[in-house]
Amino acid sequence: MEYSQLYVQRIRSLCRAHGVSINRLAGISGVKQSTLDNIVRGLTKNPRVATRRRIALAFGMTLAEFLDFPELNDYAFEDDE
């Protein structure tokens, strides 16, 4: 699984857990609907930290809590060399 897909998986999982749609998340977080759609569809591979923070806050989490999940913690980054 690609690194960017982990964020999509995390967002979808949190939406399910909190009973909100991507559309509702846009309203709660203040992130544009088009931006969230691009993230979820995989068109935006590396969302800005400010965007990730807004999403985290919408779920009542800090950015650190949002980024602290097993799939990301276990992800092996490949060297670009």
Burial class (CB in 10 A: 0-12, 13-18, 19+), 54: buried
CA atoms within 13 A on the CB side of 75: 16
**Run means of pLDDT, 10 residues per run, the chain, 81 residues:** 86 96 96 96 94 97 93 74 45
**pLDDT at residue number 44:** 94
Say what the pTM is: 0.86
Q: How many helices (H) and strands (E) in the chain? A: 6, 0
pLDDT tens digits for range 40-60: 999 999 999 999 999 999 999
Given a contact cutoff of 8 angstroms between Cβ atoms, the answer to whether 9 and 19 are in contact is: no
**pLDDT at residue number 80:** 43
Structural tokens at position 67? 């980024």
What is the overall mean pLDDT for the chain?
Answer: 91
